[in-house]
Amino acid sequence: MNSCSETIDDEQRHAAARSLSVAQSPSDGMSLIAPQPGSDYYRAVMPTDIPDRALELRTEVTPEASVRVFLEEVDVPRPVGGQVLVRVEAAPINPSDLGLLLAGADPAQVRKEGTPERPVLTAPLRPEAFRAVGARVGLAMPAGNEGAGTVVAAGADAGSAALVGRTVAVAGGSMYSQYRLAASGECLVLPDGTTARDGASWFVNPMTVLGMIETMRAEGHSALVHTAAASNLGQMLQRACLEDGIPLVNVVRSEAQAAILSGIGATHVCDSSRDDFMTSLTTAVTEASATLGFDAIGGGPMANRILTAMELAASAGAPYSRYGSAVHKQVYLYGRLDRNPTELTREYGMAWGIGGWLLPNFLAKAGPETVTRMRDRVAAGLTTTFASSYTSTVDLAGVLDPAALATYGRQATGQKYLVLPNG
Amino acid sequence: MNSCSETIDDEQRHAAARSLSVAQSPSDGMSLIAPQPGSDYYRAVMPTDIPDRALELRTEVTPEASVRVFLEEVDVPRPVGGQVLVRVEAAPINPSDLGLLLAGADPAQVRKEGTPERPVLTAPLRPEAFRAVGARVGLAMPAGNEGAGTVVAAGADAGSAALVGRTVAVAGGSMYSQYRLAASGECLVLPDGTTARDGASWFVNPMTVLGMIETMRAEGHSALVHTAAASNLGQMLQRACLEDGIPLVNVVRSEAQAAILSGIGATHVCDSSRDDFMTSLTTAVTEASATLGFDAIGGGPMANRILTAMELAASAGAPYSRYGSAVHKQVYLYGRLDRNPTELTREYGMAWGIGGWLLPNFLAKAGPETVTRMRDRVAAGLTTTFASSYTSTVDLAGVLDPAALATYGRQATGQKYLVLPNG
């Protein structure tokens, strides 16, 4: 549901794609399957388990305005210094991953080519979609925003070496790979008893949820409004808000979705499909004293409605002012489920703001102390507050199955695939 | 031009309206025209000049959905403690004053009633306008956001007593009055040689200009985009930016307006009536490295265009990212020349924001040190950088002349009235 919030550091991935040839061709000629325990460069457990070559999923936009998704056999990189090599065991397919994989192509137009062992999906790009991804043409980009697995080798730095054998979660792209190099500092070490599958979706939804709460506190608000609230992320946010005692106004678009949230203890649930939506939203916003909203929809009138409700709440009983209440009302758009323009009628005074919200931008601004606190809380809650569930699992080739794509490509609430790159 | 930026503290004015009866009825029975030099309460120069009763303009919304603008004869208040009494000699009619005076009525529908000495303007309110000012019904509100005059009496506090005889500028409402009580701390003492007429428009436009520059610095930007840039305020902003070496992109809507700005030294002027507007805007924003805009228009596509140009500038030459550049791009809407909805296509990544901007809200956030610095700079520049010019002067009864209203009510660029409450 939360297309844009799902983090992705494309520049980092881009840089990674460019540097692959270097990383995969160690200039000193040391064999990747002959680790040298105790050397300055490289140590590994389970050396016989580490293959010479491994598979990685790639997505490429061609000059002919189509996108190709395929598997590439690459040299398994060798960690040095502060790096570790992670055997990726689980990585979810998020809407933001789909955006990168398909480059805006229609999932219904995907065709399967190649061989059974090396399938290739292709799909045409409409002119506007092609224009939007012009900078990608000819780049075979790796994909997969987040995942988890086992550290099977490490550079010589003490911090990395200590991770060998541990189950860790990683984000930042390239997770649809059998093996992925990571900086030891970016690995989230999972608590004992938490599996790679438990930890695969550690970043996109959980860190977004905590990023919303951190934003709320940093900007002086005390309650939240959230749209598309029955999503996986929305339920997670409700659980975290219940833990923290934060009033949360959930906006959903059906009775069935309302029931999901009520079922996990939500107090405020407003159904936008009902005629009395604005009344119920205003009541809920008033009761919660909510002056900050996170909107996954983006387009259309929703953000405007939230600001309107907040202003009605803020100005109720206050003396007349032509410029509305002085209480700052803010809505962040973190997704774009509706790609139509956002319409602002501005009937909520002058103390309001709307803006984009993107997890990596937030994390960069928040600083390492806050990020560490967030990561630690996620790690502790991966099987409870921040648990994700999946409807299917596939291996890397399975991602390229048009039938599977038809399901996960719909981005329907409750449909989530988990990729097991090592089967 | 800058309807909403023009400051007005309606709550304060509202409170003032309520407390008038108290302020005007000193319980100790001391006569207002018999000041007692050296007493603890009250000192004055020119005692014979201070009348017992004086005129004040009032605007009232009636339960019958009309607005009445009239003159009220009131007791001249007596300053105590830290207060001073200002004989108001000049107060401009700003668009925001009009908003309060007419409560949204159409200037063309105004009728004159009353007597020649006590004229009353009335105008019907459309239902939506009436609804919007429901909280005003039955309140005879004073008006006039800013002005200047001479301190003719003061309370016993040293700070206030020292102001007697000085020419001061005041803001905060009730300036369409012959005499106005003010806290000595809110008075801006004008430099020798600066007249009340020079200082009358000290607050709304000059403080908005400096507030924009302060906002730019506080939020980490280094250049500005400004719309409706040929306005009085826009020219002032250009002069201040030239003084400070701040690159400013001026958006205007005609060749004639462009010429005005070029004539005062503007480097970047983009004419939105031209076919190549987006190209010229993008070029100017790129050259200026502008990531902050102040938009007086509010509705329609302008804010969206500015953000689009900023993103084109920020992402030029950068590697591909699905989420756009990480450079934060901000547009503040400080006016509503266009009352249509603001349309956001959101094709500028995720690092962007739009919001309302109101001078009093900014000043409250900026704190006294910043506000003092701004006031001092305005005082020093009232006959140069922050000079205003007027097309006509009227006395208080002249404000109620339908012919004058037809002119100042149009809010046309270059048409500005100055009220001389004491003739």
Query: For each of chain A's 423 residues, which pLDDT tens digit applies?
Result: 333 333 334 444 333 333 332 233 333 323 333 344 445 456 655 555 799 999 999 999 999 999 999 999 999 999 999 999 999 999 999 988 998 999 999 988 999 998 887 899 999 999 989 988 888 999 999 999 999 999 999 999 989 999 999 999 999 999 999 999 999 999 999 999 999 999 999 999 999 999 999 999 999 999 999 999 999 999 999 999 999 999 999 999 999 999 999 999 999 999 999 999 999 999 999 999 999 999 999 999 999 999 999 999 999 877 777 788 999 999 999 998 999 999 999 999 999 999 999 999 999 999 999 999 999 999 999 999 999 989 999 999 999 998 888 888 876 666 789 999 998
Tokens coding B187: 């008075």
Q: Which residue of A14, A336, A349 is in closest CB contact with B319?
A: A14
CB B79 within 8 Å of CB B154 = yes
**Residue type for A168, please?**
V
Q: What is the pLDDT of residue A321?
A: 78
Q: How many angstroms separate the CA atoms of B156 and B79, rounded? A: 9
Q: Computed over its alpha carbons, how large is the radius of gyration of chain B?
A: 23
pLDDT reported for residue A23:
30
pLDDT in tens, B247-256: 999 999 999 9
Which chain A residues in 364-423 lie under 8 Å from chain B, judged by CB atoms? 364
Q: Alpha carbon of A67 to those of A71, A79, A98, A106, B32: distances in Å?
A: 14, 31, 12, 10, 85
A14, B320: Cβ pair inside 8 Å?
Answer: yes
Nearest to A353 among B134, B139, B353 (CB): B353
Residue of A nearest to B7 (CA): A323
**What is the Cα–Cα distance from B409 to B395, expressed in whole angstroms?**
16
Facing B345 at nearest CB: one of A99, A341, A360: A341
Query: Which residue is associated with the tokens 């840039």?
Result: B229
**Which residues of B are less than 8 Å from A361 in CB distance?**
326, 350-351
Contact yes or no for A361 and B341 at CB 8 A: no
Residues 317-346 of B with CB under 8 A from A: 318-323, 326, 330, 333-334, 336, 341-346
Min distance A101 CA to chain B CA atoms (Å)? 12
Which residue has 């007027």 as its token pair? B390
Residues on chain B touching A302 (C-beta within 8 angstroms): none
Cβ contacts of residue B69 below 8 Å, gap of 6+?
A: B57, B58, B59, B60, B101, B102, B120, B121, B122, B399, B400
* For chain B, the helix, strand and coil percentages under 3-state DSSP, each to the nearest 5: 35, 25, 40
